[in-house]
Amino acid sequence: MSLRIKAVVDRFVKELKEALDADIQDRIMKEREMQSYIEEREREVAEREAAWKAELSRREAEIARQEVRLKMERENLEKEKSVLMGTASNQDNQDGALEITVSGEKYRCLRFSKAKK
């Protein structure tokens, strides 16, 4: 009888060890799958972040280019404005002539006429 009990206990211990080994293997597989999933997600996030940073950098460069262009346009406008403001001046001459200075040359206009359409 004791041999029979020992055989039952031995079989029970063997089955328990097999079940534990199977459970350990299952947990190891799940851990590997989870780690693989985490690594893939981290790669995806890193790729999106790199793409976002590249787009941000591109936009910042475009803004800088536009600011330079705007500054140049503003400077040109100021130059044109100063030229235009300084070139035509009504001198309140006795004859009512308008004096215009273009590139340092003075011109007098005595009569005005409507532009033809």
Domain boundaries, the chain: 2-79
Q: What are phi and psi of 88, to 5 degrees?
A: -110, 120
pLDDT at 94: 61
Q: Over the stretch 94-116, which tens digit does the pLDDT of each residue have?
A: 666 777 776 667 777 766 666 66
Asked if residue 88 has pLDDT above 60, the reply is no
The one-letter amino acid code at 23 reads D
Distance CA 97, CA 89 (A): 10
Distance CA 89, CA 69 (A): 31
> Does 76 or 38 have the greater pLDDT score?
38
pLDDT at 32: 96
Judge contact between 87 and 72, C-beta under 8 A: no
Query: pTM to 2 decimals?
Result: 0.47
Distance CA 98, CA 87 (A): 11
- Predicted confidence band at 68 (pLDDT cuts at 50, 70, 90)? very high
Distance CA 71, CA 77 (A): 10
pLDDT at 29: 97
> Is 48 strand, coil or helix?
helix
Distance CA 94, CA 80 (A): 30
Q: Over the stretch 24-49, which tens digit does the pLDDT of each residue have?
A: 999 999 999 999 999 999 999 999 99
